[in-house]
Amino acid sequence: MCFSKEEKIVEEILANLVTRNRSFYTQGRVATYIPELALASPDILGISLATVEGERSSGGDGKYLFSIQSISKIISLALALEEVGEEIVFDTVGMDPTPDPFNSIMRLEMHQVNRPYNPVVNAGAIAVVSLIPRENGRERGNAVLDLARRLMGNPELEINQKIFESEKETGHRNRSLAYYMKSTGTLKGDVEDVLEGYFRQCSIEASVEDLGVLGATLATGGINPVTGVRVLASRTCRIIRALMVTCGMYDGSGEFALRVGIPAKSGVGGGIVAVVPGRMGIGVCGPSLDSKGNSLCGMKLLEDLSRELKLRVL
């Protein structure tokens, strides 16, 4: 199950996979909706594996820091599940996948019971972060950062202030979603304050090595294999892994399940965290995105890796 002794072989495999897949970046585009994201080099590509025994291997741009964006949605969801419980969370948001773009207002409105479809569409994630019992949005953002540090075993993770300010300044679509939910009673509290927490969590910066450990912690059922500390209940991890499979890759989730066959969650910063339950976590990052908002090279790399290491669970 572990490949500790073949670490060199694994690193060689990873390096080859990075080389083989890097050139696909020309077929995609770096996210441009906020100026800070648009600065990323499109040809960056990194990967990191962390086994449930805590062994790690990396390839390509393993140390590159990027904002985790929508990957933060599973962290705030984990926090909400642990602090307010499944019942309240799933009274507020649904559990069903949606084929629509990640920030659709139309979908939000059509959902008759006025619940966002699931916790990983933008509306759902905004509703989820509002549930975290902290004094204000800033504190909620900091609580998500604190959990991210423990899940990734990296106490030095920080929020990128420039990205946070940029999100806050330009996030009118998210304001529209939040005010809509405010008008239907789904969202409590002050909208700008709720968004403060949401924009903060999206701006957490990490490397693929950090994401690999996050994935490994979800793979063990909640024990960080690097620090040895239990961070989440195993039930919380199951819920998150299931959501990753059905809705983790925006409206490309169905195709990703077919091609790669493991739970994963992407962000528009180019990162993807993937989980092989009982075996390992994987972090990848390539900022060039496909039309659905997923890292193009990252997905290709995961498809190759899944085939070569026989990672599929589906």
* C-alpha to C-alpha distance for 54 and 228, rounded to whole angstroms: 9
Of the pair 158, 169, the CB lying nearest its own copies is at 169
- Residue 288 backbone dihedrals phi, psi, to 5 degrees: -80, 120
Of the pair 142, 246, the CB lying nearest its own copies is at 246
Which tokens belong to 181?
């939910």
Residue from 117, 164, 198, 199 touching its own copies (CB under 8 A): that is 117
Helix (H) or strand (E) holding 224: none
> Binding string to its own copies for residues 25 to 44, with x set by CB under 8 A, is what?
--------------------
Based on the shown chain and the rule CB under 8 A, indicate whether residue 220 belongs to the binding site for its own copies: no
Based on the shown chain and the rule CB under 8 A, indicate whether residue 298 belongs to the binding site for its own copies: no
Nearest of 250, 169, 153, 244 to residue 203 by alpha carbon: 169
Residue from 158, 254, 291, 308 touching its own copies (CB under 8 A): that is 254
- In the bound complex, what is the minimum distance in angstroms from residue 152's beta carbon to its own copies? 21
Report how many residues bind its own copies under the rule CB under 8 A: 47
Residue from 143, 219, 247, 302 touching its own copies (CB under 8 A): that is 247
* C-alpha to C-alpha distance for 114 and 128, rounded to whole angstroms: 14
Judged by DSSP in three states, 199 sits in helix
* E strand spans, the chain: 29-30, 46-51, 56-60, 66-67, 158-159, 204-206, 264-266, 271-276, 280-285, 288-289
> Binding string to its own copies for residues 123 to 162, with x set by CB under 8 A, is what?
----------------------------------------
Residue from 15, 65, 84, 95 touching its own copies (CB under 8 A): that is 95
Residue from 72, 104, 266, 294 touching its own copies (CB under 8 A): that is 104
Of the pair 73, 241, the CB lying nearest its own copies is at 241
* C-alpha to C-alpha distance for 213 and 13, rounded to whole angstroms: 19
Report how many helices (DSSP H) and strands (DSSP E) the chain contains, helices first. 14, 10
Residue 161, Cβ neighbours under 10 Å: how many?
11
Which tokens belong to 25?
């970046």
- In the bound complex, what is the minimum distance in angstroms from residue 157's beta carbon to its own copies? 27
Based on the shown chain and the rule CB under 8 A, indicate whether residue 106 belongs to the binding site for its own copies: yes
Based on the shown chain and the rule CB under 8 A, indicate whether residue 192 belongs to the binding site for its own copies: no
Rama region for 272: left / alpha / beta (φ>0; ψ in -120 to 50; rest): beta
Residue from 61, 82, 251, 290 touching its own copies (CB under 8 A): that is 251
Nearest of 200, 195, 197, 161 to residue 179 by alpha carbon: 195
Based on the shown chain and the rule CB under 8 A, indicate whether residue 245 belongs to the binding site for its own copies: yes
* C-alpha to C-alpha distance for 187 and 189, rounded to whole angstroms: 7
Write out the binding residues for its own copies, residues 159-188 only, by CB under 8 A: 172-173, 175-180, 182-183
Separation in Å, CA 207 to CA 154, 170, 250, 298 = 10, 25, 21, 14
Based on the shown chain and the rule CB under 8 A, indicate whether residue 189 belongs to the binding site for its own copies: no
Based on the shown chain and the rule CB under 8 A, indicate whether residue 252 belongs to the binding site for its own copies: yes
Q: Which residues are catalytic?
A: 70, 73, 198, 250, 268
Contact set with its own copies (CB under 8 A)? 94-99, 104-110, 117-118, 172-173, 175-180, 182-183, 191, 238-239, 241-243, 245-247, 251-255, 257-258, 261, 263, 277, 312-314
